[in-house]
Structures are given as C-alpha cells and as structure tokens.
Structure 1
Amino acid sequence: MTEPVKVAVVYYSSTGNTHTLAEAVAEGAEKAGAEVRLRRVAELAPPEAIAGNPAWQAHHDASRDIAVASPADLVWADAVVLGTPTRFGNVASQLKQFLDTLGGQWSQGQLADKVYSGFVSTSTPHGGRESTLLALYNTVHHFGGILVTPGYTDPIQFATGTPYGPSHHDAQGQNPLTEETKESARYTGKRVTQVAAQLKTGRAVTHD
C-alpha cells in the first residue's frame, strides 16, 4: 500500500492573512488524507518595524510557537504549497530568503519531481496577486517541480476567479477573509494532495 502523501505548507505572514490561508490549505490537504507540516519562515524585519504596526506585532507574537521551516521539510514532502504576501508585486523577502537557502537541495535534485502550488495575500484588489504567484512559480520551474494550481477545476474557483492560486485582498485591514477564499485554499490543499497521490501511486507501480 502506498504511504500517505506528505504535504509541506510553507509560508510567510506579517499581519495574519497569509497564515489563515495556510491553515485552510493544510486543512484541505489533511481532509484529503495527507500528512501535513505547517511551517512559517523566519522573520527578517527589525523589531522596530514590527512594533510600528499593531497587527504585525500581534501576529508575530501569536505565531511564535509555529515551527520554522527548514530545507528538510521540503525534502520530506511529496508536495509543497508556498504562501506569501505581495511586496511591490513580488514575493516577500522572508519567503524568498528561505528559498534562496535551498541551493544544496536543488543541486542534488532533492526538490525535483514534487508537486508545488502557491497562495497569496495583498492590500488591494490589483496589488500584484497574480504577478506575485507567477514570480513565485519561476522558482518551481528551476526546481524541476510539477506545478499544480487550482485553475478552474472546481465550482469554488468560478466564484473566486483565482486560477493561479488562492488569493485575498484585505483593503488595508478592512476586508476580512471570506469563506469563499478559505474554501478555495482548502480546495487547493485537496487538489495538490490528490495529484501528488496519483504521482506517488504511479511511481510505486513503475518501480514494482
């Protein structure tokens, strides 16, 4: 019997929106039968910058007990789902810095042939959600990963219109995450798990 799919949900979140999406992705993966590791990347911002934003400070304090991601988490996983807020239409430096530490694993082929996907949060409706995910996926191509986005493969995706990956705009903190967006994230976790399971089963048959 094939072992359960292993999914690593690795994210950076400043004020908590990306964290909430990460939890929903993890929930969807677990309900689909995956073994999940939820991991945050290390914070790089100086304490005074964090303290200058009460929401950032509150989330920073509340997330201290969440395990920090390591390269071993990606090597362990059959599927990796990466989450980031947008920073000028691009990946947040905290997540990018973590990805930039993976050269050793990349050069050994340890990040290839896994399923990858992503999710994102930003302050405004057109603040770079799609460009951020597309930029993030450049790294997946370099890894030799298998990109599995939600696309329009479920009714929830027609409601949210986010084929590149679950995304949220919080209107400078005025717009809470909707249940539709969280359901899109759960669906992404489910879809990633299902596709990774198919690949894992196929590989097991091939090697028998």
Structure 2
Amino acid sequence: MAEPNPRRSARPRIVVVFYSATGNVAALAEALGEGARGEGAEVRVRPVVERAPAEAIEGNRRWKEWVENNPYETTASLDDLEWADGIALGSPTRFGGAAEQLKAFLDTTGGLWAQGKLASKVGTSFTSASTEHGGLETTIAAMNNVYYHWGTLIMPLGYAADPSLMSSGNPYGASWVSKKSSAPDDDALVAARVQGARLAQVAAKIAD
C-alpha cells in the first residue's frame, strides 16, 4: 500500500521569479501571483538581483527610477525554487531571449538540478517587449528551455483557459508590448492572472 503524501490537500506553493528593468515585468509578476492566490496558493513573488553597471542604469531614466524605488526587499533564492510546487519565470526580451540578470540566477541552479529537486514541478513563463515583434515568443521559449533540463513540466497559458485570451492573450505566456514605455494594460494583466490561476490549479494536482 502506498505511503500517504504529507503534502496532499495542502495549498500549492507558487514562486514567481523575474527580472524587471522598469516595472512592466514586475506588474505582470504581481498579477500572476494574484491569480495564483485566488486559487488558494501560497505565493512568493521574487525579483532577481540587478547586475547591470551603474553607468548603464544612469543612462535610462525609467530604469534608474525602478532601481531606486522598486518595492521589493527580498530577492529570489534557490530555497524559493526548492520550496515551490509551481514556478513562473519572467523577463523582458533581450534580443529574443531572457535578460542576463535572470539567466545569471538560473545558472546557479545546478546543485538543485543534480539532486533532482526541480524535477516534476510545474513551470510557466511570461515576458514584455518594447516592439510588437521584439521576441515575445522566443523569449518565453528560451526560458522554457531551462525547464526541459530541470525535468520540470511546462505549462503554457494556452487559449482555452479563458475566452478573453483569444483576442488579447499570447498562448505561450502572458506578455505585454510596451509602446512608448507604457505600463501593462488590463488585458495583459488579466492574461497574467489567468496564467497564475492555471499554474496553481495544475501545481496542486502535481503536488498531490
């Protein structure tokens, strides 16, 4: 007879790990976390450490404002990944891939990977770009490549999760095109909430 799973019926654990330069990806991360909480999940929303040189940040007003005023006191850690049943990764596009800041954090996960501690969790990804064809899908796919190596089960946003996604969503994951430095609109935030809710639902089943 199988041993009972001590986590059975417990709330699913979701961690949202992201990099944001101006706050747009952070807004999507918070909406995703909100959607997961709506499904009863325990949620941690964690930015990764900023690694860009000061002179680069100084040259961009919105980047500088975010670095100086962002509200996060706790940054992402390996413990957050091990704790979670479901993981969401978020980053602005950088030439069709994730930002170096997020990649640097992910490059520290080798120990957890070697121990199999990231396998059989559920993963999903989201992004933002400044242009309509600036690499939204390729950035999400690039982040998902990490899940393949971890053995994490990949959960796309899809279109079936909510009717509104047929007109406003990206089936790869929540995304936002920030024209003229605009913040995510209601459609983008709804897509992120739907993604978070779906991640919590699937993670709960996997944790059981």
TM-score range, shorter chain: over 0.9
CA contact (8 A) 1:39 1:66 kept: no
Q: 2:124 is matched with which residue: 110, 114, 117?
A: 117
Summarize the alignment of residues 186-201 of structure 1 with structure 2, pairs less than 5 Å apart.
186-201=193-208
Contact 1:160 1:180 in 2 (8 A): yes
Give aligned-pair identity as a percent: 46
Aligned length: 200
Q: Name the structure 2 match of 1:148.
A: 155
The gaps in structure 1 that reach 5 residues or longer are: 202-208
Alignment of 1:85-100 (within 5 A): 85-100=92-107
Moved over 6 A (4+): none
Matched residues in 2 for 1:129 and 1:32: separation? 27
Q: CA deviation at 1:156?
A: 2.2
From 52, 57, 60, the equivalent of 2:59 is 52
Task: Look up the equivalent residue of 2:67 and give its one-letter code.
Answer: H
Which of 124, 128, 133 is the aligned partner of 1:126?
133
Whether 2:188 is the aligned partner of 1:181: answer yes
Amino acid aligned to 1:187: V
How far apart in 2 are the matches of 1:79 and 1:30?
12
Return the TM-score normalized by structure 1: 0.93
For 2:4, the equivalent position in structure 1 comes to none
Identify the match of residue 166 of structure 1 among 160, 174, 177: 174
Q: Quote the Cα distance in structure 2 between the aligned partners of 1:101 and 1:64.
A: 24
1:7 to 11, 14, 19: 14
Q: Which deviates the most, 63-72 or 151-160?
A: 63-72
Instruction: For residue 127 of structure 1, give the secondary structure of its aligned residue in structure 2.
Output: coil
Shift of 1:51: 1.3
Superposed displacement of residue 67, structure 1: 1.0
The letter of the residue matching 2:179 is A
Confirm whether residue 139 of structure 1 aligns to residue 146 of structure 2. Answer: yes
TM score, norm. by length of structure 2: 0.93
